[in-house]
Structure 1
C-alpha cells in the first residue's frame, strides 16, 4: 500500500488488553463458536422412563449442549517456552519454505514468529481477507438480487445477473448445494403469474466487467471443478452436477443460466443469447440470495472459490468500484488498509486464492484472525464461527482423523491448498485454556507432504502450556 501504509498501521503495535470471548471446549470434539461462545456437544446415555426395557434394545443417546467459559486468568505462554515447544515441528523439512506467526488472542501479543513479513503464496487462505473486507463493508443480512425484466421487443425477457452464483434449478424442497439459495422455479412462477408471453431469453451480464478468469488461473480448473468463469449469474455455482462440490463447471455459466430458465418456461434453449436490459425495463420477476452471513459461512467452510469471487465483487460494488478482478481486489485491500491492517507488499489477483500469483504475509493473515478473536474488530467475530473444525467439518473434516489427533476438535482454521502451497490459519485453545491465533504457511512442497507437517505444528500449539 506504499510507504504511508507503515504509518497508518502503526496503531496495531499499541493494542490495548482485550477481553477474549471464546469459551473453552471441554472435550476434543466439535466446538461450535456461537457469538463468541464455544458450545460443546457432549453425548451422554439418557435414562429411560421404563426400567424394563429389554437389554438388547439400543440405549438412547442425547446431545447435551454445555458452555464452559475460559478461565480469565489462563496464563499466556512465554516466548521462550513456546519456541522450545515448536522447535521440533517447525524444523521439519516437509514444510519447505515456511513462515508463521502465533499470537495471544487476549492481548494481541506476537508470541512466536518465523519470517512473518515474507510474502508467500496464500492459496485459499486469501478468503480470510475477502471475508474480513465483506464483514467490514456490508451488513450481515446483505442479499444479492437476480431479476427478470421486460425485453426490448415483444416476447423477449432479460435475465439480469447482479452477482448471485447460488441460484438453483433444483426443485423447491429438494436438496441443493447452497442452503437458502433462490430457485429458478420461483422466477418461473412469477413470470407465469404475470401472464407474460415469452419466446426468447436474453442474459445481461453487464454487472461485471473485464476478464472472467483471473491472472494465475489455470483453464483446466474449470473441468476439474475448482472454478468457473466469473459471471454475475450462475446455476448452482456453475456445477454440471449440482450437488457435488468439485463437479466439473460450466465454461459459459451465464448462458447456461439463461438456457435453464428457458427450458423451465418451455422455450427452446437455442433462443437464448447474451445482451443487455433497457435501463428502465419493468421487472417481471425477482429472487434474492441468502444473507451474506450465510454465504460467507459456506465460502469459508467449503472454501468455495466462486462464492469468494462474487463476494469480493460485492465489496467493490459497495465501494462504487468496477466489479472486476482488479476492482474487487483493490477494494478488499483498501478496506483492510483503512481498518488499520499492515498491507506492505500484498499482491492480490483474485478473492479466492486460486491464483498462483497472489502473495500475502503470515503477519497479515494472523492480524486479521487476531482482531476477530479479540475486541478490536467486533464485526469480524462471526469469522470464528465459519472456520472449519479439525477432524469434523468443512475442509478440515478429513484431517486429524488418524495418527496424531492432538488437534482434533480444538484447531479451527482456514485451509489453503495449491500444487506447491499449503496454509493453515486460525485459532486453538492451548492446554492451559489460553486462546492462540496462528498462521502457518508452506510453499515449495506438495500438499500431501506439507499438510501433515502443518497439522503437527497446530497440534503442538494445542498441547502447549509453554511457561
Structure 2
C-alpha cells in the first residue's frame, strides 16, 4: 500500500502536467519535449537503474517502537555525529512515530530545507506552473524592458546549463517580430519582482559568488553562472560548483542586448511601465509603453523541484521559495519567502512553530527545522491526500545510485541501504542531515530524519557514514 500510494500519486501528478516518465530519477530531459533537440547537458548521464523501493509488501508488519529503538540507540551515539543528534522515524502508511530523540527540537537543517521548499511550492503553485520572463515596450522609442519573473534556469541560447530551459534568444526573436522592423535602441532590466537583500542572513561570506550559491535576483541566466559552458564540462569533477556573477540581472540584460544587436552600454536597470489599459496601438504603429513584446516560460515547477532535490541546487531553491511568497501575496524576498512557507506548512497541518527559515536552500545557519516536521512532511506527501506533493519523490537521490547519494552507502555497515534508501542530504561545516524514505527487511516503508548540528568540523566523511549506518540499520531490520 505505501509504495503503491507513492507511485500512484506521482503518476497522477505527471499526468496532470501532460508528461511521460520512463523511469525514476533525475533524467536529463525529464518532463521535456517528446523529441528533445540534442544539447550538451550539464547533468551527468545516469547509470542503469537498480531495484529501488521494489517488491514492497502491502501487508508487511509494522515495526514497533521498541524494535526501532533497539536498532538505532547504539548508532545515534556515534562520536562522529557530535554532541547533538536529533532523530525522528515514522511509518508512512499510518504516520505512527516509531522513534523520537529530540524529534521536536528545531535544528539547523542545511540542505534538507529543500524538502520544505519543494512541498510548499508544489502546494502553492502546483506542479505544472511555469515561471515567465517577459519583454515589454519601454517609455522611450525603441526601449525594450526585460522583466524578470524569477526563472533561475533561463538560458541565453541552446548552450545553457539546464536542459530544456527557456531562452533569451527565443525572447529576442519575438521582440524583433513585435517591433515590426523598428530597431531597438536600449534595454532596461527590471528585476524588481524580488525586493530586499540578495544575500540571506546566516550565509557564509563565500556563498554569493562562490561555487554553490549566488546573489538572488528575479532575472538571471544559468543560475547566475558566469561561464555556463565551462560549468557543463566540469560538472562531475567539481560536484556542480561554479563561479557566479556578482550582478546576475545586468549580466542577463547584457546578453539580451547583444541578441538584439545592441552594445552592452545600452543596458540599464529600471522598472517596466504598466500595461496599457487598451490593447490598441497608437498612431504610427509603435507599441504603447508596457505592451508585451514577447514571453518565454520556464520548465514546469515539478521539474525544477526534481533538479533542486536531485542535485541540491541552491539557486533554484531560492527562486522556488520566492514563488511560494508570490502565491501567498508576500514580498518575494528572503523574509517574505520564509513567512509564506511557514503559512503553507501550517495549511498542510505541519507544526509551523517548529519551522523558522531565513532562506529556501539551507545555506543559512539561521534556519531551524525539527526532525518530526520533516517526517510529517514526507508522510503527508506520500499518503495520497495531497497528490500534487508526490512529485518530491521522483527527485530524491537513491543510495549508491543517484544525485547526492551516488557515492554513499558503499562502506561497511552501510551497504544494506543501497537501493532502498531515498533521501535528501544536507551539509554545512559542523552540520549534517539526511531525511527521506527507507524500506525495511519486511517490506515496510518508513520515513526518517536525522539532523546533527554540532558535528566535528574535521570529520565530514565520518559523519556521513555514521548517518548512513543509521538509515541502513532501518533497512535490514524488521524492528519488531
TM-score band w.r.t. shorter chain: 0.7 to 0.9
Secondary structure (helix, strand or coil) at the match of 1:21 reads: helix
Q: Distance in 2 between matches of 1:376 and 1:225?
A: 38
| Deviations 1:269-319, CA, capped at 9 Å, x for gaps | 122111111112111121011111111111111111111111111111111
| Deviations 1:308-357, CA, capped at 9 Å, x for gaps | 11111111111111111111110000111122111224221111111011
| Deviations 1:80-117, CA, capped at 9 Å, x for gaps | 12211112211211111101011111111111111111
Q: Distance in 2 between matches of 1:169 and 1:152?
A: 25
Q: Distance in 1 between matches of 2:189 and 2:462?
A: 45
Q: 2:296 is matched with which residue: 287, 294, 307?
A: 287
Counterparts of 1:114-133 in structure 2 under 5 Å?
114-133=101-120
Is structure 2 residue 407 aligned with structure 1 residue 398?
yes
| Residue of structure 2 in register with 1:148 after alignment | 135
Q: Distance in 1 between matches of 2:135 and 2:6?
A: 49
Q: Structure 1 or 2: larger strand share?
A: 1
Is structure 2 residue 291 aligned with structure 1 residue 307?
no
Q: Distance in 1 between matches of 2:354 and 2:462?
A: 28
Scaled by the length of structure 1, what TM-score is found? Answer: 0.85
- Aligned CA distance change for structure 1 residues 270 and 24 (closer, same or farther; 3 Å): closer
| Residue of structure 1 in register with 2:63 after alignment | 77
| Residue of structure 1 in register with 2:214 after alignment | 228
| Residue of structure 1 in register with 2:284 after alignment | none
Q: Distance in 1 between matches of 2:409 and 2:253?
A: 43
Q: 1:139 is matched with which residue: 106, 115, 126?
A: 126
Q: Distance in 2 between matches of 1:141 and 1:160?
A: 21
Q: Distance in 2 between matches of 1:329 and 1:21?
A: 31
| Deviations 1:140-169, CA, capped at 9 Å, x for gaps | 110111011111112321111011111102
Is structure 2 residue 31 aligned with structure 1 residue 21?
no
| Residue of structure 2 in register with 1:210 after alignment | 196
| Residue of structure 2 in register with 1:192 after alignment | 176
Q: Distance in 1 between matches of 2:187 and 2:205?
A: 28
* CA root-mean-square deviation: 2.5
Alignment check: 8 A CA contact 1:39 1:67 kept: no
Is structure 2 residue 470 aligned with structure 1 residue 457?
yes
Is structure 2 residue 396 aligned with structure 1 residue 410?
no
Alignment check: 8 A CA contact 2:133 2:146 kept: yes
- Aligned CA distance change for structure 1 residues 364 and 299 (closer, same or farther; 3 Å): same
Note the C-alpha offset of 1:192.
2.5
Q: Distance in 2 between matches of 1:351 and 1:259?
A: 28
Q: 1:262 is matched with which residue: 237, 257, 264?
A: 257
- Aligned CA distance change for structure 1 residues 257 and 76 (closer, same or farther; 3 Å): same
- Aligned CA distance change for structure 1 residues 184 and 94 (closer, same or farther; 3 Å): same
Is structure 2 residue 337 aligned with structure 1 residue 334?
no
Q: Distance in 1 between matches of 2:398 and 2:344?
A: 28
Secondary structure (helix, strand or coil) at the match of 1:233 reads: coil
Q: 1:274 is matched with which residue: 265, 269, 282?
A: 269
Q: Is the deviation greater in 441-450 or in 352-361?
A: 441-450
Q: Is the deviation greater in 195-204 or in 125-134?
A: 195-204
Indicate the structure whose relative CO is greater, using CA pairs within 8 Å and at least 6 residues apart. Answer: 2
Alignment check: 8 A CA contact 1:150 1:156 kept: yes
Q: Distance in 2 between matches of 1:379 and 1:394?
A: 22
Is structure 2 residue 254 aligned with structure 1 residue 241?
no
- Aligned CA distance change for structure 1 residues 64 and 304 (closer, same or farther; 3 Å): closer
Note the C-alpha offset of 1:199.
2.8
| Deviations 1:28-48, CA, capped at 9 Å, x for gaps | xxxxx766999789xxxxxxx
Note the C-alpha offset of 1:379.
2.7
